[in-house]
Copies of this chain bind each other. A is one copy, B any other.
Amino acid sequence: MARLVQKFGGTSVRDAEHIQRVAKIVHDAARGGKEIVVVVSAMGHTTDELINLAESVNDLPDPRELDMLLSTGEQVSISLVAMALQKLGLKARSFTGAQAGILTDETHTFARIKTVQPSRVETSLRRGEIAVVAGFQGMTRTSDITTLGRGGSDTTAVALAASLKAECCDIYTDVNGVYTTDPRCYGQARRLHTISYEEMLELASLGAQVLNARSVELALRQKVPIRLRSTFEPGDTGTLVTLRELSPDYQICGVALDTNRVSFRLSLPRDFSVKEPSLDDGKPNHYNVRAQRVVEELCNLGLSRDHVNLRTDGDSICEIEFNCEKRLSREAREVLLEFFPQNNGTLLRVDSDVARISIVGVGARERHQRGDMINALRQASIPVAMVTTSNISVSAVVPAKYKDDAVKQLHETFCNGHNFADAQAAT
């Protein structure tokens, strides 16, 4: 029998009324003759409220204990969704992440799924039940509860879909698909019928909050089709995330904005650029070697190599430039200062009042796109601070106050033209 995983986010289960709406959607899918696994997040803002509660007791809560606490959010949701399904006359059974066999590493609050052993879920499906599984959580080898980090419920859903060989993973949320850019920021954004895993991954990594990046990575690896749909328009088929060959013939699929960045620029004095004999701190003296170590350490923190620029003057590094998530800025600064102490004529500029704007799509592979993007921003008189490229994206850092203008300008340049065929107007 065909299997379907349906995942519902926090806004979709935020109160009893919404839970009943979710039950109705599941009910309709089950009536279609499919075996259904439902994955749910915590209700509404529960996770944030629990974090606040933890911080009212201990300002630096232990990650293991925080996971013990946060995992209750999804446990509440699964039981209520199961009850709502039973109320509609369906057989249903809820499972915590541990019970569903979601086994993770031990990185509390940001654990990675190592394997899925869903024997209880399989048994439940064979009994004709709808299995309701807690997203966002798992269990270590030693039976400790872990959580998967923000957006982790998407990952749970994709991992279960892969493990249970589901034909699709439907991710229900409060938007009805993937847009060329966030429609709340730019009314002209258009919705995509399909998007490739690679593009979706790049959009998610560059700030589009519609899907968790890890879940897309996993879906790509396991070839699980994802359909992004709205809980409030269950009839609408949303956006299908799938292999590139099924994707439309556009060059740039969208514009991503990330306002949660801090930019760093470290300028090194020219005189010190080849050697710095006065440094006696056990670190390599050559700037190039030090810079390489900085890049390694930044990557260890989770930064992408693509978003670190090293500028050379002759043979030697003269500037290190990168941007990172705000939550990592303290550690990133420490890495820089460890290898380049500030008292040696270096100049460090840190700016958190910035936005990173990116164009994403296979077209970004072409060399001219970088120049086209810089030109487009300059035409709109937007100062460009740092430009980086990855395989299928070009990103620029701009002052935060220009973010809306930048989205508009890049969308008009790259997403409204002839090279963008398959899309429909935003609803």
CB atoms of A62 and B83 under 8 A apart: yes
Contacts of A143 in B (CB 8 A): 99, 120
Q: CB within 8 A of A57: which of B57, B66, B83, B120? A: B83
Instruction: Convert A83-97 into 0s and 1s, putting 1 for each residue whose CB lies closer than 8 angstroms to a CB of B.
Output: 110110000011010
Known contacts: A65-B82, A99-B143. The answer to whether A57 contacts B94 by CB under 8 A is no
Question: Does A128 sit within 8 A of B, measured CB to CB?
Answer: no
Question: Does A416 sit within 8 A of B, measured CB to CB?
Answer: no
Alpha-carbon distance A93/B19, docked complex (angstroms): 34
Question: Does A69 sit within 8 A of B, measured CB to CB?
Answer: yes
Alpha-carbon distance A86/B68, docked complex (angstroms): 15
Contacts of A318 in B (CB 8 A): none
Question: Does A240 sit within 8 A of B, measured CB to CB?
Answer: no
Contacts of A76 in B (CB 8 A): 50, 53, 69, 72
From residue A81, how far is it (CB to closest CB) to chain B in Å?
A: 8
CB atoms of A57 and B16 under 8 A apart: yes
Known contacts: A57-B19, A58-B86, A86-B58. The answer to whether A64 contacts B93 by CB under 8 A is yes
Alpha-carbon distance A79/B58, docked complex (angstroms): 11
Contacts of A64 in B (CB 8 A): 93
Alpha-carbon distance A68/B16, docked complex (angstroms): 17
Question: Does A343 sit within 8 A of B, measured CB to CB?
Answer: no
From residue A179, how far is it (CB to closest CB) to chain B in Å?
A: 33
Question: Does A231 sit within 8 A of B, measured CB to CB?
Answer: no
CB atoms of B56 and A16 under 8 A apart: yes
Question: Does A75 sit within 8 A of B, measured CB to CB?
Answer: yes
Contacts of A99 in B (CB 8 A): 143-144
Question: Does A78 sit within 8 A of B, measured CB to CB?
Answer: yes
Contacts of A50 in B (CB 8 A): 76
8 A Cβ contacts from A28-56 to B: 50, 53-54, 56
CB atoms of B16 and A53 under 8 A apart: yes
8 A Cβ contacts from A108-147 to B: 120, 143-145
Alpha-carbon distance A62/B69, docked complex (angstroms): 24
CB atoms of A84 and B72 under 8 A apart: no
Alpha-carbon distance A78/B80, docked complex (angstroms): 22
CB atoms of B53 and A65 under 8 A apart: no
Alpha-carbon distance A75/B72, docked complex (angstroms): 7
Question: Does A61 sit within 8 A of B, measured CB to CB?
Answer: yes
Question: Does A156 sit within 8 A of B, measured CB to CB?
Answer: no
25 residue pairs of the A-B complex, CB under 8 angstroms, read A16-B53, A19-B57, A50-B76, A53-B80, A54-B80, A54-B83, A57-B80, A57-B83, A57-B84, A58-B83, A58-B84, A61-B83, A62-B82, A62-B83, A65-B86, A66-B83, A68-B75, A69-B75, A69-B76, A69-B80, A71-B75, A72-B75, A75-B75, A99-B144, A120-B143
